[in-house]
Amino acid sequence: MKLIKNGAEWHLIDEHASPDACLIARLHGELEAAALIRFCEYYLAGALDDLRRPFPIEHAGKSYTVSTKSRKGEKLVLRIIGTDETDVIIQTEFVL
């Protein structure tokens, strides 16, 4: 997987997939990228025993809570809630 900036968006891609099937997620800004990166770090390290358990992130001096809205076998959906009333949903093509 690779995260690349594409204009105002960030794209998480599978660089081993064909160009027409490589996009895993389209992210709208650094906050979404930070949340997905942290999820991947936890997921790959096996640190998310319960995929539904929220985890904290910090970005640009603000605190956020990220939670998954997916179960194993479903496409990953993350929700980011901030102390500044931010409420963002990230939908991906990544199957848990």
Q: Which tens digit of pLDDT belongs to each residue from 8-27?
A: 888 988 888 888 888 889 99
Q: What is the DSSP string of 11-41?
A: EEE-TTS-TTS-EEEEE-SHHHHHHHHHHHH
pLDDT of 6 = 85
pLDDT of 48 = 64
- Name the residue range of residue 6's domain: 2-95
Q: Which tens digit of pLDDT belongs to each residue from 53-89?
A: 899 999 999 999 999 988 888 999 999 999 989 999 9
Please tell me the pTM assigned to this model: 0.83
Distance CA 95, CA 75 (A): 4
Total number of domains constituting the chain:
1
Q: Tokens 């389209």 identify what position? A: 26
pLDDT of 80 = 97
- Mean pLDDT over residues 25-45, rounded? 89
